[in-house]
Amino acid sequence: MHTVTAGIIDHVRRQDPEQHEFHQAVTEFMTSVDKIVDDIPDIVFDKVLERLVEPERVVMFRVPWMDDDGTLQINRGYRVQMNSAIGPYKGGLRFHPSVNLSIMKFLAFEQVFKNSLTGLSMGGGKGGCDFDPKGKSDHEVMRFCQSYMTELSRHIGEDTDVPAGDIGVGGREIGYMFGQYKRLNNKFVGVLTGKGPAWGGSFIRPEATGYGLVYLAGAILEGAGMGFEGRTCLVSGSGNVAQYTVEKLNQLGAKVVTLSDSSGVLHDPAGIDDKKLAWVKALKNVRRGRISEYAKQFPGCTYLPHNGAETSNPLWSVPADYAFPCATQNEINELDAKHLLENKIKLVAEGANMPTSAAALDLFRDAGVLFAPAKAANAGGVAVSGLEMAQNSSRLQWTPKEVDAYLLKIMKNIYANISTAAETYSRKGDFVDGANIAGFLKVADAMVAQGYV
């Protein structure tokens, strides 16, 4: 490796030894960008890579809120404002007990290059809290969101930093946080995306990540002379991204046979058709239940609870053509990748952020499997967030058809850009290198132009 890229990997490991997810994201990125360091002297001279791994700002704060029993609860909130070279900070908020600074920094780092790939003017950021919305009443979630936003509101704004949803943050949470921001600032502005369509939200934002994932995967498959019709697919997770991935795959004639949540794995060999999917949406989004209930509702399925001691996830041992991990980071480990390869998986497209561990990624790349990395594959969500910002600025609302057509255009454009970058700087079809390099070049150019900030 180049001494600069190798030195940065070494630096981040020494500086924050416990931030494993951040190291993983930085290492993967530097390994790709390594291939162009010598071609662009400004990258080294202006210390672009050194600046990229240091967030412009990190806010970490106390979130006190009262539960339904009248007991005071304290959580830890974050917002990582990673890079604003090409636009205001933009990226989701995650509410999950696992949230820590390493996870926030890895997500914010990925977001910088993902947002660049959309072609829209958005910098990168991410935030969240170690709050667990599971099992909380709506009123508890509201009180928590109001407290979280009371502090966050000092740091964001429609031209400064525009958060959105991620794990544990959907329409309900965005609504409570938007209401509190408006109340504190007396301003109705597009400070959050993922709002309801009646109050400034964009149509197709809920669908965008899943639909965009399938559009990007479709472009890759088309390039390889393949398609969706009659193909068997694995989808993990059962939240926002998973649901709309299944919806679009069904529309295109594929059969999805799995879903999951953090408690276990569901296998439905008959396929999760639109009727069953509608039931899943009501289960997860309205009743906020568990995927295990599916197996009781629809006979002929198997549900395997996680016991916490497994070395591999049984979902990835189900034979299929294409895999769409849509739950969380590092959900495909080395053994899972071996199982997928033994079953001759043809495409892996990442709906979640960094769902493939470093060792698993090496196996997929060595095997030459079609691999769509998260920063390209799941960029549809933030892309439509960018379109929501545009609609808010112009005080207009586009039709669902218009937004969907724009999303498709953006995903096809991402495919074209990552393919060209792969061929130019790495090797044909290496979309990991392609996405890292194509996303990076635009940000690097802006950072050089804007001087040492």
The residues annotated as belonging to the active site are 126
- 385 scored as a contact of ligand 2IT (CB under 6 A): yes
Q: Three-class SS string for 199-216?
A: HCCCCCHHHHHHHHHHHH
End-to-end CA distance of the chain: 27
Residue with tokens 């969706």: 228
Q: State how far the Cα of 119 lies from the Cα of 189, in Å rounded to an integer.
A: 23
Tell me which of 5, 81, 328, 392 binds ligand NDP, using CB under 6 A: 328
- 325 scored as a contact of ligand NDP (CB under 6 A): no
- 212 scored as a contact of ligand 2IT (CB under 6 A): no
CA atoms within 13 A on the CB side of 106: 25
Q: State how far the Cα of 333 lies from the Cα of 331, in Å rounded to an integer.
A: 6
Site string for ligand 2IT, 181-200 (x = CB under 6 A): ------------x-------
Q: How far is the CB of 91 from ligand 2IT (least distance, A)?
A: 5
Whose Cβ is closer to ligand NDP: residue 118's or residue 328's? 328
| Position 110, amino acid | E
Site string for ligand NDP, 146-165 (x = CB under 6 A): -------------------x
Tell me which of 239, 373, 429, 434 binds ligand NDP, using CB under 6 A: 239
For ligand 2IT, which stretch binds (CB under 6 A), given 85-93, 266-274, 338-346, 423-431? 85-93
Whose Cβ is closer to ligand 2IT: residue 124's or residue 434's? 124
- 91 scored as a contact of ligand 2IT (CB under 6 A): yes
- 88 scored as a contact of ligand 2IT (CB under 6 A): no
Residue 35, strand partner residues: none
Tell me which of 90, 255, 276, 290 binds ligand 2IT, using CB under 6 A: 90
Whose Cβ is closer to ligand 2IT: residue 329's or residue 417's? 329
Tell me which of 49, 52, 141, 164 binds ligand 2IT, using CB under 6 A: 164
**For residues 331 and 320, is the Cβ–Cβ distance under 8 A?**
no
For ligand NDP, which stretch binds (CB under 6 A), given 11-19, 326-334, 395-403, 416-424? 326-334
Residue 108: which of 130, 77, 81 has the closest Cα?
81
Touching ligand 2IT, residues 108-147 (CB under 6 A): 111, 114
Whose Cβ is closer to ligand 2IT: residue 211's or residue 303's? 211
CA atoms within 13 A on the CB side of 51: 21
**Integer Rg of the chain from CA:** 21
Q: State how far the Cα of 202 lies from the Cα of 206, in Å rounded to an integer.
A: 9
**For residues 241 and 378, is the Cβ–Cβ distance under 8 A?**
yes
H or E element, residue 416? helix 400-425
Q: How many residues bind ligand 2IT (CB under 6 A)?
A: 12
Q: How many residues bind ligand NDP (CB under 6 A)?
A: 23
**Residue 81 token pair:** 């404002």
Tell me which of 250, 258, 357, 378 binds ligand NDP, using CB under 6 A: 378
**For residues 207 and 403, is the Cβ–Cβ distance under 8 A?**
no
- 166 scored as a contact of ligand 2IT (CB under 6 A): yes
Q: How far is the CB of 5 from ligand NDP (least distance, A)?
A: 26
Touching ligand NDP, residues 263-282 (CB under 6 A): 263
| Helix then strand then coil, % of the chain, to nearest 5 | 50, 15, 35
Q: State how far the Cα of 95 lies from the Cα of 41, in Å rounded to an integer.
A: 41
Q: How far is the CB of 162 from ligand 2IT (least distance, A)?
A: 7
Q: State how far the Cα of 93 lies from the Cα of 152, in Å rounded to an integer.
A: 11
CA atoms within 13 A on the CB side of 155: 22
Measured from the Cβ of residue 223, the count of other Cβ atoms closer than 10 Å reads: 14
Tell me which of 241, 301, 340, 376 binds ligand NDP, using CB under 6 A: 241
Q: State how far the Cα of 400 lies from the Cα of 415, in Å rounded to an integer.
A: 23
For ligand NDP, which stretch binds (CB under 6 A), given 63-71, 249-257, 259-267, 391-399? 259-267
Q: How far is the CB of 79 from ligand NDP (least distance, A)?
A: 15
Note the residues at the interface with ligand 2IT (CB under 6 A): 90-92, 111, 114, 164, 166, 193, 353, 381-382, 385
